[in-house]
Amino acid sequence: MVVAQTDLWVVAESDLRREVLQAVNDCRGQLEAHIAVQPEFATSLEPVDVKSSVPAVIQAMAKAGRICNVGPMAAVAGSVAQWVAERCASRSPNLIVENGGDLYLQSTRERIVGLLAVPKSEMSMGLRLMPEDFPCSLCSSSATIGHSLSFGQADLVVTRSKNAALADAAATALGNMLQSPGEMSRVMDQAKRFARHGLDGVFAQCGDQVGVWGKMDLVCLEST
């Protein structure tokens, strides 16, 4: 489903197109109304302070930006995905909402999410999630895949958290830090510092170096 700049892929147990559209419009409406009175919220690459009276989604994005030292819009895709998923969850206990490479998932059974660091290559690695892990957000950042702004050289950074705003902002921050394979240990150290704010795990790849920290149960995927 495409609504302006929001491009969602939703997998659910029933037809939720009406509910998804309503949720997207509600979330975008709050974001657009806030940006109209605080334009720097949409453009700043650094943390932005907001009033305590602003909507919860604005507060969550601003808080994630402060924690990770990035602009609040670094958390927008994950935040929208979580907003939509939470408003559709009662209609579908098994639900995937993907927004620009960022996922928010709810499930009653084990799921494996594939990790692809190199476009057009064979996907050989995945992340296993058990029923007790849900709901869960997985957000990604890459200097080589997609159109999102990255100041690093990471092939792929994937973050895991219950908080999609935090996962999204952390993926951006860690991706920016990963300037070369030699920076991997520094990136993992920074990921650990985000843990006290709710970050649960990180997978990162840059060239021939891979870093993994936290609750990341990696599995090999059989080739077809």
Phi and psi dihedrals of 87, rounded to 5?
A: -85, -10
Query: What pLDDT shows up at residue 112?
Result: 95
CA dihedral 106, 174, 49, 3 (to 10 degrees): -50
Per DSSP, helices labelled H in 163-224 are 164-177, 184-194
CATH of the domain at 199: 3.10.520.10
Count CA atoms within 13 Å of residue 69 on its CB side. Answer: 9
Query: What pLDDT shows up at residue 202?
Result: 98
DSSP for 13-62? SS--HHHHHHHHHHHHHHHHHHHHH-THHHH-SS-----TTS-HHHHHHH
Query: What pLDDT shows up at residue 150?
Result: 72
Per DSSP, helices labelled H in 71-215 are 76-88, 164-177, 184-194
Collapsed DSSP state (helix, strand, coil) of residue 160: strand
Bridge partners of 103? 98, 138
Q: 198 lies in which domain range? A: 2-220
The total domain count for the chain is 1
Query: What pLDDT shows up at residue 153?
Result: 80
Query: What pLDDT shows up at residue 143?
Result: 82
3-state secondary structure 51-71: CCCCCHHHHHHHHHHHHHCCC
User: Taking Cα atoms as reference points, which of 102, 51, 64, 52 lies closest to residue 81?
Assistant: 102
* Burial class (CB within 10 angstroms; exposed 0-12, middle 13-18, buried 19+) of 201: buried
List the pLDDT tens digit at each of the 224 positions of the chain: 455 566 789 999 999 999 999 999 999 999 999 999 999 999 999 999 999 999 999 999 999 999 999 999 999 999 999 999 999 999 999 999 999 889 999 999 999 999 876 655 667 789 999 999 999 999 999 887 666 667 768 889 999 999 999 999 999 999 999 999 999 999 999 999 999 999 999 999 998 899 999 999 999 887 65
**Cα 191 from Cα 181, distance rounded (Å):** 16
